[in-house]
Structure 1
Amino acid sequence: MDWEQLDVNPKVVAAVKKANIKSATDILTFSGPDLQRMTKLSSPDVHHLQNVVSAVLRKGSGTTALQMCREKGLFPSQHHKLSLGCRVLDKLLRGGIPLVGITELAGESSAGKTQLGLQMCLSVQYPLGYGGLEAGAVYICTEDAFPSKRLQQLINLQHKLRSDVPFDVIKKIRFGDNIFIEHAADIDMLNECITKKVPILLLRGSVRLIVIDSIAALFRCEFAASDSVLRAKHLQTFGAKLHNLSSRFLTPVLCINQVTDTVREVDCIQSNFGQVDKTVSPALGISWSNQLLVRVMVARTQATAPQACAGSVLRTMEVISAPHIPRSVCYYTVHLEGVKGIDENVQS
């Protein structure tokens, strides 16, 4: 610290230097009597010195939780969320997925994971007032070909899904022009995409959402069971790269994941529609779990659909872990126009 910049008497600064006190933190480490003994200063001078140093250090300190709560406008990444395009699903996730961090969407085949990924690629393009981020999305495929026909269906029927948005607003958005598709056949291609291609789009402001479908496909194929330690290192490195992009550009990362069978007792969650059974868990183990901010699981169910959704297959969305959301679950269905959550107050 430059002692000359402190708002104290020059004789105090001279005494501090003479006592060979090197840093401001040392001032706060010593007690008042110790400082008096070392500097030969009076008690009022020492007390004033401690107050001045403390005030200077506080200016460069971290942000408190109370500040972040009261000054929401200064911390958009902590309060804004990206909408899923559905009021019920947004309610479950407290507004949508966070802008900073990795959100995982795990589930078995045909649970609706890709449908939700596509829907969010459209949702991100809406104005801020309607839960979007006014930018496009990068959709990275690691398994199947990109479902372009299904995407076009969703685009054509956005006015039905997003009845909360004026039709004039929807009409102005060129949804198809703002979704960038990448195919990664192996881990090297995936890393190149994340480290070279995606940052360019983020720097241009072209995108504000990264979707990877799916994260498990490549890591399962390229590493044998005996290579668990090496796979864990690759997962940690890859997760760090995603976190860096997310925090630098305030960009949500949605990773779609597969599941594995678990050998344990069935865990049941009670809801108004009945019990939801879980016999699977997300793939890639704890090494990947530690990279996540939010983990959500989706699944098909055998529950009877309420009358309002007759003919549709009921699916569940369950919050497994999140720092801001308790464990909770809701039902949803997949329609031609998109994914819709079901309010549990709906009568059967």
Structure 2
Amino acid sequence: MKSQSALSMRTKQGHMLTTGCPHIDAELNGGLRTGQITEIYGESGSGKTQLGLQLGITCQWSVARGGLNASAAYILAEENFQSVRFLQLAESLSEQQSQQSPISPLATPATQTSATTAATTTTMRSLFEFTDNIHLTHVRDPATLIHIVQYMLPVLMTRHNIKLVVVDSVAATLRYASFAEDNLFDPNQKTTDNNNKSMHYSNSNLIVNLARVLKKIAADFNAVVVCINQVSAKFTSPNTLSLVPIASGSNGLAERAFAIDESAVSSGSSDAYFRTAQVQPALGLLWTCCVNTRICLAKESSLTSEIAGLANGIRYMVTRRRLRVVFSPNGPSSTDGLCLGIHAIKPGHSADRNSLLIVGAYRCRIEPAVDDFQYLSPFLQSATRYRSSLWDFLDSRRIRDGEWRAMPLSYQVALYGSILMAPDWPPVVGWGAKPMASNKMWYDRWRLPTEHASKVFALLRKQPWFDATVEKNRAFRWTARFGYLDIITDLLNDERVDPADDDNYAIQCAAEAGHIEIVLKLLSLPSAVGINPAGKNNYAMKRTAWNGHTEIFRILLNDPRTDPAVAMNEPIRNATINGHTAIVEMLLNDPRRDTIDPSSHNNYAITQAAARGHYKCVRILASDSRVDILDLNIFRNACVNGHAKIVEFLLGLPQFDPTAVPSELFLTAVSNGHVKVVEVMLENPRFTFPFNDLVFDDAVNRGHIEIVRLLLADSRFKPTKRLFILGNNTSILKLLLEDERIDPSADNNAAIQNKYSSNSKPLVEILLHDRRVRQACSLADLQKYQDFCQT
């Protein structure tokens, strides 16, 4: 390295690389300086790799925007390059053209002015151009790492204008220098170099050599060198030696490095505010002396502060990421650090140092004051510009149900206001009978306890950006569906809110959900408001009949504007399908009963009631002369589905003719194992049955022992000898052997021969214990069966 004078170093052009976040740049006094080694250390999941990815994007920005207008090289020793996350960061940062990082302190005011103008007019690169300027290499041992840095990297930087070198991570190879990959399973064998198997580096030599080469790279090419480092445990005794837990991404290498407490020196953070008080950067004090700037990323869990102005203030446990400058020649060290987001490090909306920095940062931001709510909703809305809708964004982040209810109150306020004002999720049009759990804007995902919902709405109504009238008064509609009577009352005091919007959908929602107080509240409004319970083709009446809200249905039925026979008598069909007897009686006794036809759609109401076992509904409908009780579909549905009480009721009607019932219905009841139905049909003297082998064979083969017992007990049934050949049920076989009319030895012991051929040992044993079977067997066959049972 050539010597330089102080004057030449003073006049040498220097640059600062922005991180993409003005707050982080301010912590670093302008960004990361070229010609230096910057170390970023922290525990797993603190955002080290992500910050390294973000630097690879900002490095490609123009100098006017705080970048280096150059490419980047990544030397990876742990995981593979996260290309998907890299593109996501590039997309997010590309939308932040109006939020520029601070200009380097070395720039003149004139340069700053021109830089701002240039940055405003700069055309953003396409996303894939960012990946084209990233050069990757993977290493797994220290010798390869040093060889790449010393020989390959200078050539690569010259050819491709590389101004950023990221080593992720520097400790992944150096901490395991004593163990080459081919000696993993022999810790006592001396580690050799991968090339000639003769050179052996000590840890100290490796660290010093690597630092020397990286510093030369930074100086010769005026580049930013970033070394991502792992952490090791910090012990209370300075002489304590212990095994350090294995670091993530180290491919299963056995950790053998010893760690010594260095709390007395400045290599780690001693700030009790950080979780890093229990950890320290890996590679020890020697490596500390080799880096110029040290940045610490840490995670911490803490309770949020209480919301001002609310009784019984709510506190939540949240996880935050913090960035702290431990030491740097470019500026002072941090005192309290900077709070970061959890998904990316990017510009935020709030002006304070604890600003929201990324989508989903509700997990880590300190609870804001009530007056800060206006920052949150615009943030949530702008965060969805990269997706098809807010609903897709929330679903991708799994923000719903329990996740939604566990959020801090301030974020519930912001998020609830955003979803109440967001456009409909496009696929919801024509949703129909699809599962509601797949509906991304399903209202039930955002349900809150009534008392807590009142707090959310009270705060939300104070926000200037919130408008309860958008999206056809969705706020009023959802509130009616949830049953929040106090909130409904409050919204009705707002003259902008239209409770009759969208063809009176609000009262329909309240009626469907069974909130009678809200229904009465809306019906009591002046007629000028325009509340009409018959809106959307009497939707309220149809849904209350389906859900069985008897009192609400009574209120709607007494309103002359409603039509109980709407949609070809859908209300009575809905009520009978679900067995709501009281509603069926109300409809049949209504003064407008002449317009209500319970037999519409080919006796649909009573046939469906019979299929679902709604006995009381069947009796009520059968008493109406308009219903055709002789419709065999009624009996068929009850018989096939095993509703014996309805079968018995129908057989007891004088006008019902059992002889008209097809014989296959009896066989169906036997096949389905409906014991009570079979018993009712056998006990009816007017019923004629097909007493043949087909019925009995089916019961035996399907193992319906109770039906077999019923058939054997009926004198009209004549069992045949072939029954023993059927089935493999031991209980049924024993039941058959108890009937003296059945001979198990018929047809030259066909039964035991059949079970022996089918390898049914339990059945052979049962038959062999029968005296009639043994007497019909030859000595050879008897010995054969006995040997079979003993094996």
Q: TM-score, normalised on structure 1?
A: 0.70
* DSSP 3-state at the match of 1:237: helix
User: CA offsets per residue over residues 29-52 of structure 1, 9 Å max, x none?
Assistant: xxxxxxxxxxxxxxxxxxxxxxxx
CA distance, structure 2, for counterparts of residue 340 and residue 110 of structure 1: 20
Q: Does 1:344 align with 2:353?
A: yes
- Establish whether residue 334 from structure 1 lines up as the match of residue 339 from structure 2: no
Q: Counterpart in 1 of 2:76?
A: 141
Aligned to 1:255: 227
Alpha-carbon spacing, 1:175–1:345, altered in 2? closer, same or farther (3 Å): closer
- Between stretches 109-118 and 259-268, larger displacement belongs to 259-268
CA distance in 2, matches of 1:312, 1:85: 25
| 2:330 matches 1:324 | yes
Whole-angstrom CA distance in 2 between matches of 1:251 and 1:61: 18
Cα distance in 2 for residues equivalent to 1:305 and 1:213: 33
Mapping for residues 28-43 of structure 1, pairs under 5 Å: none
Match of 1:160 among 87, 95, 114: 95
Q: Which of 264, 268, 271 in structure 1 is aligned with 2:271?
A: 268
Match of 2:156 among 185, 196, 201: 201
Which residue does the alignment assign to 1:5? Answer: none
Contact 1:334 1:340 in 2 (8 A): no
Residues 345 and 141 of structure 1: is their aligned pair in 2 closer, same or farther, counting only changes over 3 Å?
closer
8 Å CA contact retained: 2:303, 2:317: no
* Aligned partners of 1:89 and 1:340 also within 8 Å: no
> What amino acid maps onto 1:153 in structure 2?
Q
Is the 2:302–2:318 Cα contact (8 Å) retained in structure 1? no
Match of 1:184 in 2: 139
Q: Deviations over 1:235-279 (max 9, x none)?
A: 10111000111100000100000001112489336xxxxx33422
Over 3 Å counting, the alpha-carbon distance change for 1:305 and 1:197 in structure 2 is farther
Match of 2:26 among 85, 91, 95: 91
Partner of 2:125: 171
Aligned twin of 1:230? 202
Could you tell me which residue of structure 2 aligns to residue 120 of structure 1?
55
From the superposition, tell whether residues 304 and 100 of structure 1 become closer, same or farther in structure 2 (CA, over 3 Å). farther
Paired AA for residue 320 in structure 1:
V
- Shift of the alpha carbon at 1:86? 0.6
Letter in 1 for 2:220: R
**For 2:122 and 2:151, how far apart are their aligned partners in 1?**
36
Distance 1:262 1:162, change over 3 A: farther
Pair 1:63 & 2:6 matched: yes
Task: Report the number of matched residues.
Answer: 273
Q: 1:61 to 1:76 in 2, by over 3 A?
A: closer
Select the residue among 242, 263, 271 that pairs with 2:214: 242
CA contact (8 A) 1:178 1:206 kept: no
> Residue 332 of structure 1 contacts residue 340 of structure 1 at CA under 8 Å; is this kept in 2?
no
Partner of 1:76: 13
Q: Give the CA deviation at 1:121.
A: 0.3
Q: Cα RMSD over matched residues?
A: 3.2
CA shift in 2, pair 1:170/1:286, >3 Å: same
CA positional deviation for 1:166: 4.4
Unaligned runs of 5+ in 2: 100-118, 180-186, 192-200, 237-262, 264-268, 308-315, 356-367, 370-791
**3-state SS in 1 of match to 2:29:** coil
Cα pair distance change 1:290/1:232, threshold 3 Å:
same
Distance in 1, matches of 2:141 and 2:97, equals 36
TM superposition shift of 1:149: 1.3
Deviation at 1:81, TM superposition (A): 1.0
Distance between the aligned counterparts of 1:233 and 1:213, measured in 2?
20
Q: Offset of 1:206 from its aligned partner?
A: 2.5
Provide the C-alpha distance between the structure 2 equivalents of 1:313 and 1:167, rounded to a whole number of angstroms: 39
Which runs of 5 or more structure 1 residues have no equivalent in the other structure? 1-59, 69-73, 270-274
| SS of match in other structure, 2:342 | strand
Aligned to 1:290: 289
Distance 1:102 1:219 in 2: 17
Q: CA deviation at 1:95?
A: 0.7
Letter in 2 for 1:260: S
SS at match of 1:244: helix
Deviation string 1:92-127 (CA, Å, 9 cap, x unpaired) is 000111101110000000000000000000000000
Partner SS state of residue 157, structure 1: helix
Q: Is the 8 A contact 1:141 1:184 kept in 2?
A: yes
Residue matched to 1:129? 64
2:555 aligned partner:
none
Question: 2:85 is aligned with what amino acid?
Answer: R
TM-score w.r.t. the length of structure 2 is: 0.32
AA aligned to 2:338 is C
Instruction: Describe the shift of the 1:304–1:150 C-alpha distance in structure 2 as closer, same or farther (beyond 3 A).
Output: farther
Q: CA contact under 8 A between 1:333 and 1:340: conserved in structure 2?
A: no
In the superposition, relative to structure 1, how do residues 311 and 210 fare at CA in structure 2: closer, same or farther (>3 Å)? farther
Q: Which amino acid aligns with 2:333?
A: R
Deviation at 1:160, TM superposition (A): 3.2
Task: State the alpha-carbon separation in 2 of the partners of residues 84 and 239 from structure 1.
Answer: 23
Q: Is the 8 A contact 1:100 1:250 kept in 2?
A: yes
Instruction: Give the C-alpha shift of residue 62 in structure 1.
Output: 3.0
Q: How far does residue 304 in structure 1 lie from its aligned partner after superposition?
A: 5.5
Q: Match of 1:185, SS?
A: coil
CA contact (8 A) 1:301 1:314 kept: yes
Report the secondary structure of 1:190's partner residue.
Answer: helix
CA, structure 1 residues 293+61, in 2 after alignment: closer, same or farther (shift >3 Å)? closer
TM-superposed deviation, 1:61:
8.9
Higher relative contact order (CA 8 A, sep 6+): 1
Offset, 1:313: 4.3
- State the secondary structure of the residue aligned to 2:123: helix
